[in-house]
Amino acid sequence: MSDLEEIPATWRQLGLPGLADVHVHFLPEPVMCRVWEHFASAGPLIGREWPIRYEWDDERRVRHLGAMGVRHFTALPYAHRPGIAGYLNDWAADFARRTPGCLASATFYPEPEAATYVPELLAAGTEVFKVHVQVGDFDPRDPLLDPVWEALAEAGTPVIVHAGSGPVANAHTGPGPMADVLARHPGLTAIIAHLGAPEYGDFVALAEKYERVHLDTTMAFTQFFEEMAAFPRELLPRLHDLGEKVLLGSDFPNIPYAYAEQVSALVDLGLGEDWLRGVLWHNMVRLFDLEP
């Protein structure tokens, strides 16, 4: 598959100005290199061979997104231990300032300081947060996060949560902990990464239940991901009916296949051009109020 031929052809055929990808990663170089080393070694959080297709520097990756027509994207740092969020957030804020199309992204961790720095980040204009329950190995119901979830719910700022048990489960992954968070903070604008894989049905149900819960398509329906956790085809009508709650996500650059495969996998679902237009562009643009 050719990213630079197939992807622009797809969005042009749909009459779109490009793509809007809610799940893209840019990290400080030392951190990204450590992430890539973990993938290369099939580390314990990965559990299988996972070659990185786009192991390039930041500048080349930004150029590639632009060449494919990805007009809006995120950076999505994620804290894996206490004390690192500030470093990641400072770097991500600077990256967004100097990178057209990138949303101001940040992260947090269950630590006492989070109740202070998250409201400060919101006041400074942070547009999206990312937390990774699997990598961070923390309980999203931790009392230290109560004021954080509340601040996010009040602000309406989206938070992308890797809450599903894929690719390797721990004691805090799965739908139960996040369902408890939403029961306490029903106004939270949460975007469940990877459609909640592998607990797809439970996370689809949360998106159906809560007005501001969304799902992103990150890696879903690609051959690589279907081998790990196939999406039940009987859920497709419900995914279709969620409409504007489903957003394109890719996990670029940390994918072992061409970006075009993610887009073609969504096209091949046969859920209709209106659904595709929403997923590939309109839903993210609407949620983040990116254009008039």
70 phi and psi, to 5 degrees? -80, 100
Task: Tell me if residue 214 falls in helix, strand or coil.
Answer: strand
Asked if pLDDT for residue 1 goes beyond 80, the answer is no
Secondary-structure class of domain 3-287 per CATH: alpha beta
Asked if pLDDT for residue 194 goes beyond 90, the answer is yes
The arithmetic mean of pLDDT across residues 146-160, rounded, is 98
Query: CA 199, CA 195: separation in Å to the nearest integer?
Result: 8
The arithmetic mean of pLDDT across residues 210-228, rounded, is 97
pLDDT bracket for residue 193 (50, 70, 90): very high
pLDDT tens for each residue of 54-64: 999 999 999 99
Taking each helix axis from N to C end, the angle separating 58-68 and 3-13, rounded to the nearest 10 degrees, works out to 40
The arithmetic mean of pLDDT across residues 2-31, rounded, is 97
pLDDT computed for residue 45 by the predictor = 81
H or E, element range at 89: helix 85-97
| CB burial readout 46-59, b (16+ within 10 A) else e | eeeebeeebeeebe
pLDDT computed for residue 292 by the predictor = 63
User: How many alpha carbons lie under 13 Å from residue 180 in its C-beta half-sphere?
Assistant: 12
pLDDT bracket for residue 140 (50, 70, 90): very high
Domain boundaries, the chain: 3-287
pLDDT computed for residue 43 by the predictor = 81
- Write the single-letter amino acid at 265: A
pLDDT tens for each residue of 204-217: 999 999 999 999 99
Mean pLDDT of the chain: 97
pTM (global) more than 0.85: yes
The arithmetic mean of pLDDT across residues 23-51, rounded, is 92
pLDDT tens for each residue of 262-276: 999 999 999 999 999
pLDDT bracket for residue 47 (50, 70, 90): confident
